A and B are shown apart, each in its own frame.
Chain A
Amino acid sequence: MLILHCPYCGVDADETELAAGGQAHIKRETVGSSDGDFEEYMFMRQNPRGVHFERWRHVNGCGKWFHAARCTTTLEVFGTYSAQTLRPPQDLLTHITGKRPGWSFSQWLETLS
C-alpha cells in the first residue's frame, strides 16, 4: 500500500486514490514508424530491479497524471514530478544517484531499447 505525493495537489495520496499507468517516458510511435518501432512502443515494457520511472494518476483526487521514481525492490520513492516533461528533473536524478551510487538515467534509458 504505497503513498505517493501528488505533485499537482500536494496530497500524500493513499494507493487507493491512485491508478497505475505503467512505465513512463515512452515516445509515441505512429504512422510512418516501422513495424518494429511501433511494436516496441505499443507492447514492450521493462521491469527493472531497482530504480524505475512510472506513470500514476491521482484518479480519486485532482485527476492529474504524474510521474514517480521508485525502487521496485524496496519500494523507496525517490520523488514524484510532472508528467508533462520528457525527462525527470535533474535534482531528482542527482538524488537517486546519491541513494544508488553508480546508477544513471542514461543507463535506465538504454535498458528500454
Chain B
Amino acid sequence: MSTRLATGGRHLDRATSVSFDFNGRKLKGFKGDTLASALLSNDQMLVGRSFKYHRPRGIVAAGPEEPNALMNLGQNGHFEPNARATTTEIFDGLTAQSQNHWPSLDYDVGVVNSYASRFMPAGFYYKTFMYPAPAWKHVFEPFIRKAAGLGKAPKERDADTYEHFYAFVDVLVVGGGVAGLLAAERAGKAGAKVLLLEQSAHWGGRAPVDGAEIEGRPADAWVTDTVDALENMDNVTMRNRCMGAGVYDHGYALGYERLTDHLAPQAAPRHRLWRIRAKHIITATGAIERPLSFAGNDVPGVMLAGSVRDYVVNYGTSVGDRTVVVTNNDDAYRTALILKDAGLDVPCIIDARPHGGGALMEDAKAEGIRVETGKAIAKVKGGKRVEGVALCAQAGEGAILEEIPCDAVAMSGGWSPVVHLWSHCGGKLIWDDAQAHFRPDPAKAPTGADGQGFVSVVGIANGAMSTGDCLTDAVKGTNAALQGIGISPKRTAAPQATEEPENPMAAVWKMPQGASYKLRSKMFLDYQNDVKVSDVQLAAQEGFESVEHTKRYTTLGMATDQGKLSNINGLAILADSLNAKIPKVGTTTFRPPYHPISMGAIAGEASREIFQPIDKTPLHQWGEENGAYWEPVGHWRRAYCYQRDGESVEQAVNREVKATRESLGLLDASTLGKIIVKGPDAGKFLDMMYTNMMSNLKPGKCRYGLMCSENGFLSDDGVVARMDDDTWLCHTTTGGAARIHAHMEEWLQTEWWDWKVYTANLTEQYAQIAVVGPNARKVLEKLGGMDVSKDALGFMEWKEGKIGGFDARAFRISFSGELSYEIAVPASQGRAFWDALLAVGEEFNVTPYGTECLHILRAEKGFIMIGDETDGTVIPQDLGLHWALSKKKDDYLGKRAQQRDHMTDPNRWKLVGLETVDGSVLPDGAYAVADGTNENGQRETQGRVTSTYYSANLGKGIAMGLVLNGPDRMGEVITFPKVDGTEVQARICDPVFYDKDGEKQNV
C-alpha cells in the first residue's frame, strides 16, 4: 500500500497539517503536498478511470506529464475541470473529485468497455458509426456523449480575476532546474536583464532528488546558494509557479503564472499571463521519463521510476512497501537505492539489457538487491492495484519464469528531452540513437525578425544526460546566447558535478521483444486515451504510414497531456511496424501551450464590466436615470427608447414617434461622426471621397453626401457642412466615425500624399442633440441667443453662436422630415444643455426619443439607413440615389467600379416602399417569392425587405425593400412567405410615406 513515511519529504512542512476533501471524504496532508502526494499518502492508489475502456488508473507521474490523475477542483465559481493532481498544491478546504466514472470511482459501469476492448480497436468509432446516417444523431452520439468526457464544464461564471503583464527582457530562461538556474546566473552576472520561470513551486528540478553533488556539495545546497544569488541581482526576476507556455514569432513567449491556485480563493488575480518579448530565449526544460510497454503497465501502482523517487524524497511518500524496478537504463537504479535507503523493500530490479548497468547496478547489488538482467515483465498482476509481476526473458515471447509479489512497479524506458518550446516556433529535431530520443538540432533553430536563431536549449532538454554535462552545456549555451545579443559573458568555468559513470541505455519498445497479441493489447502507450501497442500496429497495417494520420486515427497523443509520455513510444512502435527508422517516420508537431492554460488567463482583464469597451455619450448617465432601453451600435450604447413607468418598449416607441411628429422630440445624436477636413486641397479630396460634389458647397451650407468604397458599394453617408474657405466638417454614421476617418487617412497617406489636407476626428468633442418637431424653433427661441428663424437659418444651413448661454453650432438638417436642428455643444456641457432643453421644453411636452423612433421617422420619409438598406452589396444606383452621383466629376472612389457590367445590370434589385395589404408589419429580412424554383429546388425570389416598422403616425406597417424592377412595378402586389409558413401580401409603392413634398421640414 502507498503510505506516508515517518521521515523525509524536502517539500513538506510536517508541522502544518492540511485537510482537504476527495470524492466527499475528508483527508489530511501536510503543507507542501501536491494533491497526488497527499492522495498516495492516504493509500488512494486509484484516482480515475480511463477515457475509453474505463480501466482503473492510478498516479503514474509526479509532474505535468501525468495522464491519469485528472480532477474536478473547487466549487461553484471556483470550479475547474481536468486539473492534474500532480501539479495541484493542497490547501485547507481544497475539494477534488475524480473524473470519468459513474456511479463511483470504485464501481464504474463504463468498465464494460474494457471487457469489450477487443472489439473496440483503433478507428472503432470511424468504422462502426457510419451507417445509417440518422443513427448517428439519435443513437450513437447520445450514448457516446453520456459515456465519454473527462471533466465537467463549469456551470457558474468564473468568480476569479485574471490579468496580463507585458515584460521585455534580454534573456528569458524557462526552467528552474540546475541548468536553468545556472543559465540565469550567468546571464545575470553578464548584466543581461533576465526573467527566469519555473513551473513548479520549487527551484532545483531533479538534481537534488537524484542525489547529485555540485562543487563537492549536495545539489540542494548549490541550488539554495544560487537562488539567493539570483534574488540579489537587480537585473534578474524569478517566478516560480510560472510555466513557459509557448514560444512564438519574434521573441514572443507566454508565461503562465498561477498566483493563487495553491491558496483558498483570494481577491487577488488567480492567474497572470506574462506576455514576454525576449531578445533571446533559453529553455532548460529538462526531460520526461518514458514508460515501458508491458502488459498491465496501467494498473494502479505502476509508476515512472523517477516519480517513485520524487514521492519518497520530496514528499516522504512511498508508493508501495515492495517495489519492483523495471528498466532499460542505469537511472532507475537510483530509485531502487533510494527506496532501500528509506527502509522499503525492492524485491527485484528487472533490467532488459543483457549485461545490465554499471556502477549504480553494483551499488544496488551491494545493498543486497536482486538484479535480473536480460529480463522483462511479462505482465502485471492485479486489477485496481498491483499484486505482483510475472518475470520473463526480454528476448522471448513472454513465457513466465517466475512470479514476484509486489505492490508497486517503478518503470523507466529512458528520458525524452522536453523540446516543446524549441519546436513551437519552428526549431527542428535530430534523433539521438544512443539515448533513443529526439533532441534539438542546433543548426535549425527557430529564427526571429533578423533571421537569426533566438531560442537555445540547455541541459537535459538539450540531451546532456548527466548533471555535470548539464552544467557545462548550460554555461556553453548561455555564453553563446549572450554573445548573439551583444552581451559579453564572464569567462568562468562551469561548476563541476561528481557522479558515477553510467552504462548506455538500450532502446526497449515493448516487453518482451516477441510479445503475443494478447500481451500487446494490454500494453498502454497513451494512458489518457487508451491507445495500446496493438492499436498503433493495426493502424500501420491499415496503411496509416504518416505519424500525423496515425495520431488522429488512434487518438495517440491527442489527450490533454498531448502525448508527453506516449509520443516516442508510439512513434517507435509505428516505425517498427512500418520497418522504418524512427527519424524517417518523424514526430508530430508540438504546439503551444506546453500544458493547458486557463481560458481566464488568455482573456486576461477582459471579463465582466471590462470585457469590452463600451462607448458612452455625455448624456449616457441621463439615460441610465430615465429608463433608457439600451442597444449596442458599434461600441456605443444608444437608447432604443426611454421607457416610462409601466410602459412596454413598443408603447414607449409609439409615444416617442407621435410626440415628436406632433410637438417636440430630442435625440442624443452625439455618436454621429464629426471629422474636420482642412487644407488647400480639401475640396478636391472630398470630391474623391464623396460621390457628389463637395468642393462647390458654400461656407455656411450643408449637403447630404454618399461615400462608396473603391469597389463601388455604399459604405457611409452623412451631412457635410462647409465651415470656411478651406475647412469642411463631415458627419458620418454612428458606427462609421473611426472607420471613415481611417479611410480618409489611408487615401491621404498612401495615394494622394502630395495633397495638402489634414483631417481630425472631433466626434467626441461635442454632444450633439437633435431638436425635432413643429415646436423645435420655439424651444430654441425660448433658450435664446441665436436667431434660428427661417430666414436667418434656412434648411441645410448652419451657424455658430450662443444658445441659452451655451457655445453652440446649429445645423438645420433633418433626418425625420420635421423642422429640425442638430445642436452641437462641447461634450463637457452636453448634459447641462440637455437639461436646459428639457426644462424649457416642458410646455411643448418635450420627449427624448431613441434610435427606434429615429428609424421610424426616417422610414416614414423614405430615407435610407446605412446597414439597413445597405449591406456591402448595394450601390447608390440601387437606392434611387442617382441625384447624389455627380456627373461633373471625372472620378470619385467607386466610380470606375460602378461602370462594371454587374453594376449596370438593369436587373439589380431596386429600392421601393412596401405596404402590406392587411396593414400588418412585414417581417424584417423577408424575401418576396417569384415563380419557379432554382437548381436547388428552392423558390425563386424577386426582392427582400430592408427596413420594416409599425408607424404609429400612419397606424399601419410600413417598409422598404429591394425588388426586381421595383420602381417600374408600382401598385403590384408581391408575396412574402413568413417563418411560420403563412404568407403576407404587400403592395409596391413610393418609399416616401409621409409628407411627400417635404413641407414640414421647410417651415
Contacts and interface: CB of A to CB of B under 8 A. Distances in A.
B449 A75 contact: yes
A28 interface: yes
Given A3-B449, A31-B891, A84 B897 contact: no
B447 interface: yes
A9 interface: no
B249 A57 contact: no
Nearest to B451: A76
Contacts of B891: 30-31
Please indicate which of the listed interface residues A43, A59, A74, A99 has the most CB atoms of chain B within 10 Å of its own CB: A74
Interface stretch (B198-206, B743-751, B789-797, B949-957): B743-751
Contact of B451 (A30, A63, A74): A74
Given A65-B746, A84-B749, A84-B753, A3 B899 contact: no
B250 A42 contact: no
Contact of B249 (A64, A75, A99): A75
A64 to B, nearest CB: 6
B486 to A, nearest CB: 16
B710 interface: yes
Given A1-B252, A31-B896, A84 B447 contact: no
B334 interface: no
Interface in B117-133: none
B742 interface: yes
Interface in B483-512: none
Contact of A2 (B249, B711, B900): B249
Contacts of B753: 83-84
A1 B166 CA distance: 13
A21 B742 CA distance: 12
A1 to B, nearest CB: 4
Interface in B742-773: 742, 745-746, 749-751, 753
A81 interface: no
B743 to A, nearest CB: 11
B711 A1 contact: no
A105 interface: no
Interface in A35-50: 35, 38, 42-43
A42 B711 contact: yes
B944 interface: no
Nearest to A33: B896
Interface in B227-261: 248-252
Interface in A54-75: 55, 57, 59, 63-65, 71, 74-75
A93 interface: no
B746 A31 contact: no
B250 A3 contact: yes
B750 A77 contact: no
B890 interface: yes
B450 interface: yes
B746 A3 contact: no
Main SS at interface, chain A: loop
B277 interface: yes
Nearest to A59: B742
B447 A1 contact: no
Interface residues of A, number: 29
Contacts of B451: 71, 74, 76, 99
A3 B277 CA distance: 10
A21 B751 CA distance: 13
A99 B451 CA distance: 9
Interface in B880-932: 890-891, 895-897, 899-901
A98 to B, nearest CB: 11
A1 B250 contact: yes
B777 to A, nearest CB: 41
B750 to A, nearest CB: 5
Contacts of A63: 745
Contacts of B901: 35
Interface string B440-451: 000000011111
B749 A1 contact: no
A83 B745 CA distance: 12
B750 A83 contact: yes
B896 A29 contact: yes
Contacts of B277: 3, 14
A50 B710 CA distance: 29
A7 B897 CA distance: 33
B449 A2 contact: yes
B897 A42 contact: yes
Contact of A30 (B248, B449, B750, B895): B895
Given A64-B749, A65-B746, A1 B249 contact: yes
A35 B248 contact: no
A93 B901 CA distance: 40
Nearest to A32: B896
Contacts of A1: 248-250, 252
A63 to B, nearest CB: 7
A88 to B, nearest CB: 14
B895 A31 contact: yes
26 contacts: A1-B249, A2-B249, A2-B449, A3-B251, A21-B746, A29-B896, A30-B891, A31-B891, A31-B899, A32-B896, A38-B897, A59-B742, A63-B745, A64-B749, A65-B750, A71-B451, A74-B447, A74-B451, A75-B249, A76-B447, A76-B448, A83-B750, A83-B753, A84-B749, A84-B750, A99-B451
Closest 5 CB pairs of A and B: A1-B252, A76-B451, A84-B753, A65-B749, A30-B896
Given A29-B896, A32-B896, A55-B750, 14 more contacts: A1-B249, A30-B896, A31-B899, A35-B900, A35-B901, A42-B710, A57-B742, A65-B746, A74-B451, A75-B249, A75-B250, A76-B451, A83-B749, A83-B753
Interface of B: 248-252, 277, 447-451, 710-711, 742, 745-746, 749-751, 753, 890-891, 895-897, 899-901
